[in-house]
Amino acid sequence: MKITALTLCLLAFGSMATQAAELNAPAPGCRVQTLTGQSSVDPAAFPGKVVYLDFWASWCIPCAKSFPVLDQWQSELGGRGFEVIAINLDEERQEALDFLQQHPVRFTIGADPAGKCPRLYAVRGMPTSYLIDRQGRIREVHEGFKTSDAAGLRARIESLLSER
């Protein structure tokens, strides 16, 4: 009987749904190692800053499109309190490193091969990005990345930066 109960527990646990990150709700904390493994980063731990949290992988073609744009934003808006945190979801770390060789960037890269954070943030496509305001609330969820998205995204980042 005990074993049957245990089996049922296992079944229930396997199909458990996770809590999604919602608009205007505080961004869930999710600390991961940086890709270099030298430190750690939590996208929800940047009080007073506007965070662009990006979930990416080396095999994701639009991600490659987005990286130069994000890098430009980081260098132009970093001084005003803008921070790009890009969490890599590759299972093979080397593939992420190769990608970064081809698309060098200067923002923070986290590594979450186990997929803990995208589960927490309920990522439905690649890439998905989250705009987190100075109060730490998720203000926008952006699925995918097209070059034509950049202008609109940048305008919304600017308006979040002008909030106090």
Partner 1 sequence: MNARRLSRSLMLLTPLLAGCATQVAPWERGHLARPEMALEPYPLEASFRQHVFFSKESVSGGYGVGGGGCGCN
Q: How many residues bind partner 1 (CB under 8 A)?
A: 27
95 binds partner 1 (CB under 8 A): yes
Q: Is 60 a residue that touches partner 1 (CB under 8 A)?
A: yes
The SS3 call for residue 6 is helix
Residue 89 CB, shortest distance to partner 1, in Å, is 4
- As a whole number of angstroms, the distance between CA 92 and CA 85 comes to 19
Question: Could you say whether residue 116 binds partner 1 (CB under 8 A)?
Answer: no
- Report how far residue 31's alpha carbon sits from residue 41's, in angstroms, rounded to the nearest whole number: 5
Residue 125 in contact with partner 1, rule: CB under 8 A: yes
66 contacts partner 1 (rule: CB under 8 A): no
CB-CB contact of 48 with 82 (8 Å): no
Which residue stretch of 27-35, 100-108, 112-120, 146-154 sits at the interface with partner 1 (rule: CB under 8 A)? 112-120
Task: Give the list of residues 6+ apart from residue 71 with CB closer than 8 angstroms, or none.
Answer: 84, 104, 105, 106, 107
In whole angstroms, the minimum distance from the beta carbon of 3 to partner 1 comes to 4
How far apart (Å, rounded) are the C-alpha atoms in residues 138 and 41? 17
Nearest distance in Å: CB 124, partner 1: 6
Which positions ≥6 away from 116 have C-beta within 8 Å?
A: 30, 32
Q: Kindly state the smallest distance separating residue 101's Cβ from partner 1, in Å.
A: 18
Report the C-alpha gap between 36 and 136 in whole angstroms. 26
Q: Pattern 71-90, binding to partner 1, x per CB under 8 A?
A: ------------------xx
* Residues that bind partner 1 in the complex, under the rule CB under 8 A: 1, 3-4, 6-7, 10-11, 14-15, 55, 57-60, 89-92, 95, 115, 118-119, 123-126, 128
